[in-house]
Structures are given as C-alpha cells and as structure tokens.
Amino acid sequence: MEIATHPCPYDIESLKSLSELDFSYSGFPSIGTTTTDSTSPSAVNIGAILSFNSTIGKVAKVAIHAAVDDINSNATILNGTKLNITLLDTKLSTGFLGIIDSFLLMEKDTVAIIGPQYSVMAHVISHIANEMQVPLLSFAATDPTLTSLQFPYFVRTTQSDLYQMAAVAEIVDHFQWRDVIAIFVDDDHGRNGIAALGDKLAEKRCKISYKVPFKPDNISHEEINSALVKVALMESRVIVLHIYPSSGLEVLHHAAQSLGMMGSGYVWIATDWLSTVLDSEPSLFSSSAMNDIQGVITLRMHAPDSDMKKQFVSRWKKLSQKEDSNQDPFGVNIFGLYAYDTVWLLASALDSFFKSGGTLSFSNDSSLNMLRGDSLNLDTIGVFVNGSMLLQKILEVNRTGLTGQMMFSPDGNLVHPSYEIINVIGTGIRRIGYWSETSGLHTGEGPNHSNFSEGLFGVIWPGQTTQTPRGWVFASNGRHLRIGVPLRISYREFVSKIEGTEMFGGYCIDVFTAALNLLPYPVPFKFIPFGDGKTNPLNLDLLHMITTGAFDAVVGDITITTNRTKIADFTQPYIESGLVVVAPIKKLKSSAWAFLTPFTPMMWFVTGMFFLVVGAVVWILERRINDDFRGPPRRQFVTIVWFSFSTLFFAHREKTVSTLGRLVLIIWLFVVLILNSSYIASLTSILTVEQLSSPVKGIESLVISSDRIGFLRGSFAENYLTEELNIHRSRLVPLNSPSEYEKALKDGPANGGVAAIIDERAYMELFLATRCEFGIVGQEFTKMGWGFGFPRESPLAIDMSTAILKLSENGDLQRIHDKWLTRSACSSEGAKQGIDRLELKSFWGLFLLSGIACFIALLCYVIRMAYRFSRDSNSNNIECSSLSARLRSFLSFVNEREGEDKCWPKTRRKEKCSCRKVVHEDGSLDDSTVRVHIENNVTAQD
C-alpha cells in the first residue's frame, strides 16, 4: 500500500506547471489505451478530495487513513487486494481546484473517489464522475439536490440536509413559532439547504420571513455586523444559522458581543456545523467563546453507541497524533465516523465487485483525444468500463459501521435518518431529545427506541431562562403599527372619530386598547381612518387593505365569516352578533275567551276525549261490584260524565273498590295534576305578561313569503340571504342608516317599504333602544362574532386573542359593553311571537301512559269475565245455539252484580236465551230434553 498526499496549489504559475508534476506512484498500473486485469489485482487505486485545514477535513483525513490501514490488514476482505489511496488537499477552496484534483486522480485509473467535502464542488465533479463512470462517495456533501437523476454516480454516504431541515421545522412547530429568519452561506450548500427548510416549514404552516445570505468565504466583520443589524430590526426572533464552521462562530460572536442578540427573547438554531465544531475542538469548552453560544440549539447526526464505535474513539488520540504530532489535539466528529465507514463501504463493494467477476478496465474517451498535447494531459484520462457495475455494488451494500446501518434506500439516501437535538449550556452540551423520520421529536434512549415521549426535555434559552421565548417582537425600526379603522356615519357607538382630533372612540376602540394594555410588551400604533365620511365603508374592502400591506391590522365592527378568514387572521370574538329579524310589533289586547288560550284546540279535544274514555273504563271495571255505578242507563251515563270530569278537581264522590279501577284512576289523576299545573302556569303568564304580536314570525316565514326584506348595504347579510337561504335578490332592499330602517318598516311592503329588516344583533339592539314600535322576532339564526383582523400568520393575533379572553374573565369586557351599548327596556325584551300555547306534543307521553293503563285494565277484566262465564256455562251444561246468542248471554252475565252470577241461570234474567241439552252422537235428542224459555220477569227452572 502507498498513501500519497498532495497539496493543491493556488497560484497561476503552479497551475501552469501541473503537467510537469510526477504522478508515478508504486502500485499504479501503467496508462495505455486499455488496461485489463482478468483476476483480482494486487492493488486498487482510490482517491479522496478533502480540505485538510477545515474542521471536517482534518478529522476525515485521519479517519480515512485509519480505515485504509484497517482494511489492508484485514484478511477477510478484498482477498489480498490492497487499497492505494491518494488524498488531495483543496485547501479551503470549493470550486476550480476541486476540478483539477478530480482530473489528477482520474489520470491514475482511480476506480472511486471519496469526497468531495463540499457540496459546491460535488455539483461540479459529479459531471466528471458521470462522464468517467467513476463513483463519487461523499461523506460530507449534504446538499439535498445532489441525489437526483442528474448525478447517478454521486453516492451520499452521510445524511441529507433534507432530513436535518425537517428536524429544524419540527422544532419550530413544537414551540409554536411561525416565522424564522435564515442566515446562510450563499452557495449550493446554503441555498438548497434553506430551500429545503422553507418547504418543510410550509408543511407546518410556518415560513421564512427574512433571509440573510453570506458569501462563502472571507466574510468581513463589517458584513457580519451589517447583516445582523438588519436581523435585529425584524419581528422574528427565531434565527436558523446554516453556515460553514469556519465562519459560524464568528457570526455568533458578533451577535452576542456587538449587538446583544444572545439575550432573552432570542432563539438560535444552528445546524450540525456547530456540533461538529464542539466535537472537534475540546478546548472550546474552556474558552470565552462558550459565552457567545449559551442557549443555542444545534443538531448532530445520530450514531448509536456500539463496541466498534467505543474502540475507535478510544484509539482516536493515538491515530490523530500519528497523523501529525505537531498539531494540537482534536476530537473526532460525526463526519469523521462517516468518512471511516465510507472507506469500509467502498471496500465491501469492491470485494463483491471482484467476486462477481468485475475487472479494472479503462478505455480512453474519444472526446478527450482533441485535448492531446494539452499541458494537463486530459487525453490520458480513461473511462472506467465497469464503473456502473461497481456503482451497483456500492448501492447494494448493507453493513453496520461506526455510524450504524450503512444501507441505501431506493432514492439513494441512507436509511433511518436521525438527529440528536443538543442544547449548549454552561461549559458543556446537553442532549434534549431526538428526531427521526418515523417518530419525529421525542425523548428516550435513542431515535428509534420504543419507549419515548413526544417533544423535548426542557431547554435553557439565551439569557439563561427556561421560559420558552415568544419568538417575535415588534420591529425595532421606529415604525408604528398602522391600524385601519372604518369611518362610520351610523352606529357611532361602535367606532367614531372624535371631532377635531385624530383620535377614535367607541366600543370596538376601547376593547382594542384594553387588550393592548394587557400584552407583555409595548405596541406602538396609530389609527388610520378608512372611508369618505359620507357612506359606511365596506368591511371587505378594509380587510383587503391588509393584503396589500397598507394596514397592519383592522379594528372595528368586523364580522368573522368564512370568506374573510381567507383574507386575514382574526382574534377571538369579543362580542357575539348573529343575524336577527326586526319587524313592526303590536300589543295583543285582552279577550273574554283568554282562559282558552293556554291549550291549542287539538289539546282541548284530546283532553276532553280522555276524560270520557277514562270515565267509561272505570264504569266498566266498577259496575259489577259497586252500587255507585249501577242503576238505570240514564243514571249510569250521567255518572260516567260526572265522575270523569270531577277528577279534574279531585271532587268525585263515587268510590272505586276494584283493583283495576283504582290503578286506572291513580294514573289518570297524575295526568290531570300535570295538565292542571301546566294550564294554570300558562294562563298566569298570558294574563300577567305583556303579549306582542307581529305578522312576521321569524326568518322561516320571511323565506316562504314574497315580501321585501331590508338589509344594511355592504353587509355580508346579502350574500347569506341569497346563497344560503335562496332568497331572490329582487326581494332584497339595501338600506344605509337607522333612519332609513325606520322609514322602510313604517311604510311596509304595500307602500314601497319592507316587511322586516335583517341585520346583526349588535346593531339592532341599538336601533331598538329608542324605537319600541319595532322588535326582534324569532330567534337569532346565525352564530357569529366580531374580531380584530391581522395579516395571515401574524403572531399578534394569537396574543390579542389571549388578551381578549383575559378581559372577559376579569369583567372588563362587560364593563366596556355596558358603557357604550346599554339597552333600554323596549329593546331588551324583544317581541314575544304570538302566545306560548301548550300543544299536544308536550303531553302525548302522559296520554299514552293513561291509555295503556286503561287498555291493560280492560283486557284483564275481559279475560277474567270470559273465564268465569265459560266455567259457569260448562258447569250447567248449557250451550247457546248461535254466536249472537252466546254473546248476549255473556253480556247478561257481565251485567249481573257480583254475587248474582253464582246461581245463574236460576236467577231472574232480562234477556231471552234459547238453550237445550247436548245432542247425542246419532243426532237424536235426549228424552229428557226440555225447552227452557227465559223471558223478562220469568223464573227459568232447570
């Protein structure tokens, strides 16, 4: 094995002399038109492109050397074939020098390249790798756009920033922030990473409100200060820092020391560059630089604990000193672990490649022959004939390394992406949770551990506070919040401009200012009138001014509707105000027949019928054993009527002695008690409460009629009536003021006016305060409210909603209401529609109960009588000659008083029945057969 390390020159003279460099490394096959080895070669050339002086590069260099040594000393892999690796140093360059390095490597028949370290360079070299069919395995290029159909030979052996940005978006959503500021390096790595962040935030209904790009290298202090000053003037206090390690600490230092942006209220989320620096520079924890990053949240790709990882970390110090004993000691970071695993992954793929019959065969690219004689000798670069086969073997690798499972998903990314969420505290760091693609944010022993709870552990935020920052403040640029206020000409109790001043007053204004006073931060604002002062402005037009940026908020009598929520965000409603119907009303005069009004006609009819039915049932059940229910038919009819209606006053003198009769009576008396109590209560209400009447009974009667309906011009009521209730637009009359309301209602539909006005309750209560000839009829048929409008996703809308709830809880909201909207007596009651008459449906259960009792009692009585009649008939060997005769006999039996039926048929009968002895089987009559004639007042002998 031979390891060659070459710096890549920066100056032009050195670039001109590239052709004079001697690239004769032992173990490299000779260059020719075609090189073919039919058996496993003794050595394989691979390359690596790193920046040796960078935080990631210096660690990766040591890890790659260690991996090559471990592989070459392991007899179980590659079957004796040694890895020859060439590491080229790109310094801190991310562009042209990387291209030169790739050409230098490919001139030496390199089968694969580890790197490049930077995403920008990977974009460029991937084109060369595609052309030469040389797999490019990068352990540090995290740009999510690299894994695409455009770069088939680019293999990312680390996690994509797509997942890191998903974790950041989840953190933002977890703490209920909505806007973030992104500071990033303005190259492929930074731009594409922030673009991925924007997409992930959008999925959570969040957004990037401001972007601060930095040039990739050599950022001056003035540029950093200038950019951070602009950030400090923004409303958002959640800052995502996606930058290179070389300049990330410098940005945080200026933010903390120069601008005080590491104080309470700020949130800093650094991507994995910060955890990489902290892992690589142990001396940083004891330096003053830790004061600049207190409370910062950062991410780190998760590598599960294992014996393999522990052994590697334990020998890291020896490995790093072996590389350069003069260099200050540095720790191993996650990218170093991925670099080590990348070499092993490539070795495993090569082992499978050779076992499958793959050969190291290179052919000249005819398109490069035109460059023959060029000082770079590009015509000597060969195309790896079996590069596609090696690429396939790489993507099929499934092994466990220092970072966990190394296996690729169908989209070319490593499986099971996961991150640790880290909080910088004091002189160290603390893991506060994990993020994984399958489980999101959670705590536990690992990203994929089954026992975990959602969310994160407590965070120590900048300013040494545990209270979660609000995430935004008002911009510190001296600009006041522009509040749009409708310039109303009617209902000035809600919103009105104070004459001779720029101030506004009214119920809505007082609620708004009271809510602002409850916010934990000052809000500078100024009211800006909207309207011409001659007509009421349209609220929809006022809300549209928010979308154009003319207003920062809208305060006034703004009803919250579905369509309006698509334009702006609203606060919690501070007053309910649904649509009501207002119509002319008149008092009902008392009548001589007022005592009949508590019950409807059907109720009176059913009640009377039940009195008669219950009386008849009790008469049937009692007449055989109770002398009070016997006598001539006329007397019995009077008894039935008297007994049934006397139960209304519990004044019946007839006693009930049968069990069934008492059961029916007690249930009926309960029904009568309920009916009596309800009647008295209703009659009392009718005679003592003033009754109002209106030809309009409510919205239902208006919908089915053809009368004209008035509404406030520009109100949402017009669309509601036409679209929801299907009222033809020709029936609707737009009106502008309360005086027009009054005139239209007095004129009525017959004289060009309207039958009713439909408007919001809050307006109508003020309208009716001094107009007692009108009233609200029917029920409020929509449930809506008024709120203050803000731009979409405005955090102020949430805070103002909380303040409004506080006003409601402490009673201030009601006090403001009473101050401006105190109602008079004639508007507070409204019109009572008709008379509250008691209907049958309110009592059908009682009647059903009484009816069932009567039916069951009669059924039991009939069964009992039928049984006794059958028993007595059989004991006397009497059989009626016909069904009608038998029925008459049964009725006579039932009509007898209890005790007389025991000697039946010897007793006196009032009906005639022809009976005979039983006929013999041959049809002849028994000799002893006699006819028995039973006539009125005649005794029949047996």
For residue 227, give both structure tokens: 């950019």
Please give the Cα distance from 224 to 251 (Å, whole number).
Answer: 6
Angle between helices 844-875 and 659-688 (to 10 degrees): 160
Tell me what pLDDT residue 826 has: 61
Please give the Cα distance from 167 to 275 (Å, whole number).
Answer: 15
CATH number of 481-576+796-819: 3.40.190.10
Residues of the chain with pLDDT under 50: 1-3, 5-38, 370-374, 825, 827-835, 902-942
For residue 789, give both structure tokens: 């409008």
CATH number of 692-783: 3.40.190
For residue 692, give both structure tokens: 């109002």
Contact (Cβ atoms closer than 8 angstroms) between residue 784 and residue 730 = no
Domain ranges of the chain: 43-159+316-404, 161-304+417-442, 481-576+796-819, 594-690+839-869, 692-783
Tell me what pLDDT residue 832 has: 47
Locate tokens 């028993």: which residue?
Answer: 871
Tell me what pLDDT residue 897 has: 63
Q: Which of 295, 190, 186, 164 is nearest to 237 (CA)?
A: 295
The string over 329-366, giving b where at least 16 C-beta atoms fall within 10 Å of a residue's C-beta and e elsewhere, is: ebbbbbbbbbbbbbbbbbbbbbbbbbeeebbbbbebbe
Q: Do the domains spanning 481-576+796-819 and 594-690+839-869 agree at the CATH topology level? A: no
For residue 571, give both structure tokens: 């606060």
CA distances from 66 to 27, 138, 280, 304, 505 (A): 20, 17, 17, 20, 77
CATH number of 161-304+417-442: 3.40.50.2300
Question: What is the per-residue DSSP string for 358-424?
Answer: ----EEE-GGGGGGTT-TT-GGG-EEETTHHHHHHHHHH-EEEETTEEEEB-TTSSBSS-EEEEEEE
Strand-pairing partners, residue 509, are: none
Peptide bond into 734 cis (omega under 30): no
With the CA atoms of 382, 385, 391 and 392 taken in that order, what torsion angle do they form, in degrees rounded to the nearest 10? 180
For residue 95, give both structure tokens: 């562009």
Please give the Cα distance from 342 to 49 (Å, whole number).
Answer: 13
Query: Phi, psi (5° rounding) for residue 41?
Result: -75, 165
Give the three-state DSSP class for 830.
Answer: coil
Query: Phi, psi (5° rounding) for residue 583?
Result: -145, 165
Give the three-state DSSP class for 285.
Answer: helix
The string over 850-872, giving b where at least 16 C-beta atoms fall within 10 Å of a residue's C-beta and e elsewhere, is: bbebbeebbeebeeebeeebeeb
Tell me what pLDDT residue 594 has: 66
| CA distance from start to end of the chain | 141
Please give the Cα distance from 643 to 614 (Å, whole number).
Answer: 9
Please give the Cα distance from 324 to 313 (Å, whole number).
Answer: 17
Strand-pairing partners, residue 48, are: 87, 114
Strand-pairing partners, residue 433, are: 421
Q: What's the gap between Cα 811 and its chain centre? A: 31
Length of the chain: 942
Tell me what pLDDT residue 92 has: 62
- Radius of gyration from C-alpha coordinates of the chain: 49
CA distances from 614 to 49, 438, 606, 617, 644 (A): 106, 73, 12, 5, 7
Please give the Cα distance from 659 to 671 (Å, whole number).
Answer: 19
Contacts 24+ apart (CB under 8 A), 20-26: 23/104, 23/107, 23/108, 25/84, 25/86, 25/108, 26/2
The amino acid present at 214, given as its one-letter code, is: F
Greatest pairwise CA separation for the chain in angstroms: 158
Query: Phi, psi (5° rounding) for residue 84?
Result: -105, 120
Please give the Cα distance from 773 to 761 (Å, whole number).
Answer: 17
Q: Which of 441, 334, 361 is nearest to 134 (CA)?
A: 361
Q: Which of 901, 933, 895, 888 is nearest to 914 (CA)?
A: 933
Tell me whether residue 760 is exposed, middle or buried, using C-beta atoms within 10 angstroms of its C-beta: 0 to 12, 13 to 18, 19 or more: buried
Please give the Cα distance from 361 to 113 (Å, whole number).
Answer: 16
Contact (Cβ atoms closer than 8 angstroms) between residue 732 and residue 711 = yes
Vertex 451 angle, CA 449 and 453, to 5°: 105
CATH of 594-690+839-869, one of 3.40.50, 1.10.287, 3.30.450, 1.10.10: 1.10.287
Q: What's the gap between Cα 888 and its chain centre? A: 78
Q: What is the DSSP letter of 780?
A: -
Locate tokens 């509404």: which residue?
Answer: 711
All residues at 6 or more sequence positions from 370 whose CB lies less than 8 Å from its CB, including other chains? none
Contact (Cβ atoms closer than 8 angstroms) between residue 572 and residue 501 = no
- Reported in sequence order, the residue ranges of 115-178 that DSSP labels E, i.e. its strands, are 136-138, 154-156
CATH number of 43-159+316-404: 3.40.50.2300
Question: What is the per-residue DSSP string for 888-936?
Answer: HHHHHHHHSPTTGGGGTTTS--SS---EEPPPPTTSPPPTT---B---T
With the CA atoms of 736, 737, 739 and 745 taken in that order, what torsion angle do they form, in degrees rounded to the nearest 10? 60
Tell me what pLDDT residue 590 has: 55
